[in-house]
Structure 1
Amino acid sequence: MGNLLGGWRYREPSTVEECDSTWESDSESDEPPAEGDSGVSESVSPAETGRGGADPGDTTSPQLTESPEFAPKMKRSFYAARDLYKYRHSYPNYKQSRQSNEYRNLRFYLNKIPLVPDGIFIEEILTKWRGDYDKLEHNHTYIQWLFPLREQGLNFYAQELTQDEIKEFQSSREAKRRFLAAYSLMLDFYGIKLLDKNGNVARAPNWQERFQHLNESQHNYLRITRILKSLGELGYEAFKPPLVRLFLEESLCHATLPNMQHSALEYYVYTVRSPARRRRLLRYARQHYRPAHAFLWGPPPKRRGVGGGGGGAGSSGIRAPAPTPEQHRKGEETAIATTMAAGIIVSSHGTAASHDVSSVEGKGCAVLSSKIVGLEGTLMMAGARGERNNYDKMYPL
């Protein structure tokens, strides 16, 4: 067993923001060369987290209004964010070495062993399965062999990649030739054609029929995520943005793949390792996403100091984190002091009362409502005879 991180202990991210570094900066200087990432990490940095602020130079973002009724109902998927975080960081919690004669993915692509359990060789798939859409649709064992990853798929006979095997694969012209043929095979199945060695893609002649099928057969969206990941693992990182861009255009602009919209934004974009390229894709998506105010994948809101009015949702739809216990305590003390000074008595219906006070128009009302910032604190004073326990059950801290 090996560990690329040495003595550094991997810490699992716990929020969507920690998993996403897309908007950490707005510099295009981190754009990689055309060939992209090889998929092999010589060293892995644990620092790529989404603690950055909003995108200061981006004026194209449709902003949410301050009114809470316009806040988006959807939320980013933490499961998806964490999965793609691990992928972009070369699976920091999984490192396993094997002997070279155990490289089953490479040997399969060299046409030396068949895939298990079907017993089919790669050359048979590439020559006989092209255009056999029923077989490609209903067989669920080949995709893990055609597009291997450093993670386990549904076919437990398929073996996970290791970094050493990735290096061996990338040094084999025969394996890479067949891998690109397998990629072209799957693109044809989805109604797309590979245009050149740079990974540019376009609609295939039969795109209408295939797009209709793809829009309805949503288990293929998981396959596409795997294909995109495998492209990056085996040295074709630069092939991802053209394919993701096509899916964004078809789902957002032309409505040919409306059911793919969420998968494209939540998964496909985040398989791209370069933050600059992810930003480019998300800016394009944001221009065409409807309703515009519900776009969740833009830059997060700016962090404001405690008491500075933070907590509203920005264009990403991600609200500021809940206050810490220390901030809660200070809020309670402030509320108690303010209430005692004003001589206010809050009834057990304090929730409704506080909303009524904040909506009153008149001299001093705005100041008063802004100071009543700790409903928990005021209810502590009013609930000295056991009402606090009932409140805790209704509104846990």
Structure 2
Amino acid sequence: MGNLLGTWRFKEPSTVEECDSTWGSDSDSDEPAAEDDSGIYDSVCPAESDRAAAEPGDKSPQLTDSPGPLPKMKRSFYAARDLYKYRHSYPNYKVSRQPNEYRNLRFYLNKIPLVPDGIYIEEILSKWRGDYDKLEHNHTYIQWLFPLREQGLNFYAHELNQDEIKEFQSTREAKRRFLAAYSLMLDFYGIKLLDKSGNVARAPNWQERFQHLNECQHNYLRITRILKSLGELGYEAFKAPLVRLFLEESLCKNTLPNMQHSALEYYVYTIRLPATRRRLLRYARQHYRPAHAFLWGPPTKRQGGGAGNGGSVGAGSSGIRAPAPTPEPQRKEDDSASSTSPRGGIIVSPHDAVMCQDLAGGGLKSYTGLGSNMARLEGALMLAGARGGRNEYNEVVP
């Protein structure tokens, strides 16, 4: 029996529905007994009427001018599975047999520099703030500033493990510097940290930085890492205010339109509390255009029995096929040497492409021009081989 238990592995989900418990009644144990959404996101966006005037009839060239069949969209199984593993603490995670050197913690205690650049955390915090060119073009520091239990593009960076996470969360100096690093990156994106509850708002330089963020979309992958790292190191409650701001700016105020897909497919699903995800998605559904293409739920009730009897699958299901939303401009990557287009009908979102590049060790060099559907990317990849108070989202604030 002991041998059988020792070799048992968690069965990974095989569909988007299995990955997403946001709208299910069998939600995680942290689900509140009763949820009250009234008064939080019911107000109409102040810029909604302006945006409606700018987009009469919610028409876009992709939806109205396409000479052939309309492109179809589905939820990204790749993204859903990645974030399922994160929210469930990597159920098949293998503990390294090598001694734990706590390199991430020692870096944050200013005892060792990041590799390969040889820079200490104090130098980054004191000299890099406001140096936007350096923060944009250096691609080695982000894995050290925001460590995860998964490998990133900087293979010199070390993955976290449970013991190091516990030690990090109990070390005041490391936590102080971690919040300073978070504030530094928020400033880079045109956002300011308002208080110890994680509330955020536009910074004075928001117009310039939002324009940069809307254009330099490899930063969206960085933001996913930042959100994950916040949860790993004890700041889960900081996620919702930041995700809420990104949803408002991309969907309502239209200052970050290129971020819509990443915010809905990735950022929302880094949040572990299902009730919080539901509130954010209900807000997003109010302002998403075109409304009928909103894929993230809640699922509609089936009528007339199952799908085989004429029933329809809900909006949150991976089986929905709806016209694609307004296409995002192509994302630009510094090291992309060429432009490729998918064959065989595989449509890949730029964020998904960069995530694949991350996990495949840089094997996916160019992704310019890729679309927004990950329906068959999985097969292609297989072949390529706290104590404290609570914020408005009912989450514990450290």
Please list, as runs of the form range in 1=range in 2, the aligned pairs for 1:43-54 lying within 5 A after superposition: none
1:319 positional shift: 2.8
Q: What aligned pairs does 1:309-320 form with structure 2 within 5 A after superposition?
A: 309-310=310-311, 312-316=312-316, 318-319=318-319
Give, in whole Å, the separation in 2 of the partners of 1:72 and 1:196: 44
Q: Which residue identity lines up with residue 15 of structure 1 in the other structure?
A: T
Aligned to 1:65: none
Aligned residues: 281
Rate the CA distance shift 1:186–1:280 in 2: closer, same or farther, 3 A: same
The one-letter amino acid of 1:22's match is: T
Counterparts in 2 of 1:151-230, with a 5 A limit?
Answer: 151-230=150-229
Aligned-residue offset at 1:309? 2.0
Assess, with a 3 A threshold, how the Cα gap between structure 1 residues 146 and 28 changes in structure 2: closer, same or farther. closer
Deviations 1:328-359 (A, max 9, x none): xxxxxxxxxxxxxxxxxxxxxxxxxxxxxxxx
Does structure 2 conserve the Cα–Cα contact (< 8 Å) formed by 1:198 and 1:238? Answer: yes
Give 1:29 shift: 9.5
In structure 1, the partner of 2:114 is 115
CA distance in 1, matches of 2:168, 2:230: 12
Superposed CA offset, 1:231-284 (max 9, x none): 000000000000000000000000000000000000000000000000000000
Partner of residue 278, structure 1: 277
Contact 1:251 1:260 in 2 (8 A): yes
Shift of 1:9: 2.4
Give 1:129-144 correspondences, 5 Å limit.
129-144=128-143
Partner in structure 2 of residue 147 of structure 1: 146
Q: How far off its partner does 1:190 sit?
A: 0.1
CA distance 1:170–1:292, shift in 2 (3 Å):
same
Shift in alpha-carbon separation, 1:29–1:273, aligned structure 2, 3 A: closer
Aligned counterpart, 2:87 = 88
What are the superposed Cα offsets for residues 53-84 of structure 1, whole Å, 9 maximum, x if unpaired?
xxxxxxx9xxxxxxxx9x98211111100100
Letter in 2 for 1:23: W
Shift of 1:13: 1.1
Work out the CA distance in 2 between the residues paired with 1:239 and 1:307: 43
Cα-Cα RMSD: 2.6
Classify the secondary structure of the residue corresponding to 1:102. coil
1:51 aligned residue: none
Alpha-carbon distance between aligned partners in 1 of 2:89 and 2:199, rounded to the nearest angstrom: 25
Match of 1:15 in 2: 15
Q: Deviation per CA, 1:200-244, whole angstroms, max 9, x where unpaired?
A: 000000000000000000000000000000000000000000000
More helix by share: 1
The runs of at least 4 consecutive aligned structure 1 residues that moved more than 4 Å come to 5-8, 26-32, 97-101
CA change 1:199–1:6 in 2 (3 A) is farther
Distance change (3 Å), C-alpha of 1:103 and 1:17: same
Partner of 1:328: none
Structure-to-structure mapping, 1:247-266, within 5 angstroms: 247-266=246-265
**Distance in 2 separating the partners of 1:12 and 1:236:** 26
1:28 Cα deviation from its structure 2 partner: 11
Counterparts of residues 21-36 of structure 1 (less than 5 Å):
21-25=21-25, 30=30
- Residue 98 of structure 1 contacts residue 162 of structure 1 at CA under 8 Å; is this kept in 2? no
Larger mean CA deviation between 95-104 and 8-17 belongs to: 95-104
Q: What displacement does 1:301 show?
A: 4.2
Offset at residue 315 of structure 1 (A): 2.5
3-state secondary structure, aligned to 2:201 = strand
Cα distance change, pair 166–119 in 1 and its aligned pair in 2 (3 A): same
Change (3 A) 1:128 1:320: closer
What SS does structure 1 have at the residue aligned with 2:133?
Answer: helix
| 1:308 CA drift (Å) | 3.1
Distance 1:80 1:29, change over 3 A: closer
CA distance in 2, matches of 1:295, 1:320: 10
1:179 maps to a residue whose letter is F
Match of 1:331 in 2: none
1:228 counterpart letter in structure 2: L
Aligned sequence identity (%): 87
Distance 1:9 1:302 in 2: 34
1:231 aligns with 2:230: yes
Higher relative contact order (CA 8 A, sep 6+): 2
Stretches of structure 1 lacking an aligned partner (at least 5 in a row):
33-59, 61-68, 322-397
Judged with a 3 Å threshold, the aligned counterparts in structure 2 of structure 1 residues 225 and 211 are, in CA distance, closer, same or farther, namely same
Deviations 1:9-66 (A, max 9, x none): 211211111110000039999457xxxxxxxxxxxxxxxxxxxxxxxxxxx9xxxxxx
SS at match of 1:202: strand
Q: Deviations 1:139-165 (Å, cap 9, x if unpaired)?
A: 000000000000000000000000000
Structure 2 match to 1:340: none
Q: 1:124 to 1:100 in 2, by over 3 A?
A: farther
Q: The residue matched to 1:256 in structure 2 has which SS?
A: coil
Amino acid at match of 2:13: P
Offset at 1:93?
Answer: 1.3
Contact kept, 8 Å, 2:74 with 2:320, in 1: the verdict is no
Structure 2 vs 1, CA of residues 221 and 320 (structure 1 numbering), >3 Å: closer, same or farther? closer
Q: Which residue does the alignment assign to 1:77?
A: 76
Report the 3-state secondary structure (helix = DSSP H, G, I; strand = E; otherwise coil) of the residue aligned with 1:226. helix
